[in-house]
C-alpha cells in the first residue's frame, strides 16, 4: 500500500470515528527542540475523540517550522512541514495523561516522513493543558542510522474549546 493510500485510509477512519463519538476540539502551540537545530515551532488544531472515561484518540493537524541547522560555514533554513499526529491518550493518574502514537508529515519541496510519538499531557483545567512529547522519525532512521536530527522534543500548551 502506498503512503498516500495509507494516509488517506487513516484520515477516513479518523473522520468516521468522529461521527459516532464525543469530540473535543482545540488549538495548540509548541516549541520544538532538536540536538542539531535551533528551536522551531509548531501550531495547529487538535481534536480528542473520547472512547471511554480514560481513553481517547487525539489527532492533530500542525504546521511545523523546524529550526535552522548550522555547520562551520553553512546555515540551512528548513522549510515548513505539515504534520498529522494520531495518538492514543490514556488518563493515567488524576490530570496526567500518557500519549503514544504515530505521525505522518510532508516537508514542503522535500519528502514524506513518518515516525513515533510518546509523551505526557497535564490538564490544568477543562480547557487548558500543557504537554511534552518525544518524536522519532522512522523513515530517517532506516535510511541513515547515524543521523542525529531525526528526533526532537516538543513542549507547548493546548486550549480546548467548550
Instruction: Give the CATH number, domain containing residue 112.
Output: 2.40.160.20
Mean pLDDT across the chain, nearest whole number?
82
Q: What integer pLDDT is reported at residue 68 of this predicted model?
A: 63
The larger pLDDT score, comparing residue 28 to residue 1, is at 28
Are the C-beta atoms of 105 and 82 separated by less than 8 Å? yes
What pTM value is reported for the model?
0.76
The count of structural domains within the chain is 1
Q: What integer pLDDT is reported at residue 95 of this predicted model?
A: 94
Q: What integer pLDDT is reported at residue 111 of this predicted model?
A: 77
Domain region containing 19: 3-160
Q: What integer pLDDT is reported at residue 72 of this predicted model?
A: 64
Sign of CA dihedral 31, 18, 96, 115: negative
Amino acid at each position: 500500500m502506498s503512503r498516500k493510500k495509507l494516509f488517506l485510509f487513516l484520515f477516513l477512519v479518523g473522520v468516521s470515528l468522529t461521527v459516532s463519538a464525543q469530540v473535543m476540539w482545540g488549538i495548540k502551540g509548541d516549541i520544538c527542540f532538536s540536538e542539531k537545530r535551533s528551536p522551531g515551532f509548531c501550531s495547529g488544531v487538535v481534536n480528542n475523540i473520547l472512547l471511554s472515561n480514560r481513553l481517547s484518540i487525539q489527532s492533530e493537524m500542525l504546521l511545523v517550522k523546524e529550526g535552522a541547522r548550522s555547520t562551520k560555514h553553512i546555515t540551512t533554513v528548513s522549510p515548513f512541514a505539515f504534520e498529522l499526529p494520531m495518538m492514543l491518550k490514556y488518563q493515567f493518574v488524576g490530570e496526567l495523561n500518557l500519549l503514544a502514537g504515530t505521525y505522518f508529515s510532508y516537508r514542503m519541496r522535500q519528502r514524506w516522513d513518518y515516525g513515533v510519538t510518546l509523551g505526557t499531557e497535564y490538564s490544568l483545567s477543562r480547557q487548558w493543558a500543557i504537554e511534552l512529547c518525544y518524536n522519532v522519525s522512522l523513515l530517517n532512521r532506516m535510511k541513515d542510522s547515524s543521523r542525529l536530527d531525526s528526533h526532537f522534543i516538543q513542549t507547548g500548551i493546548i486550549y480546548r474549546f467548550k
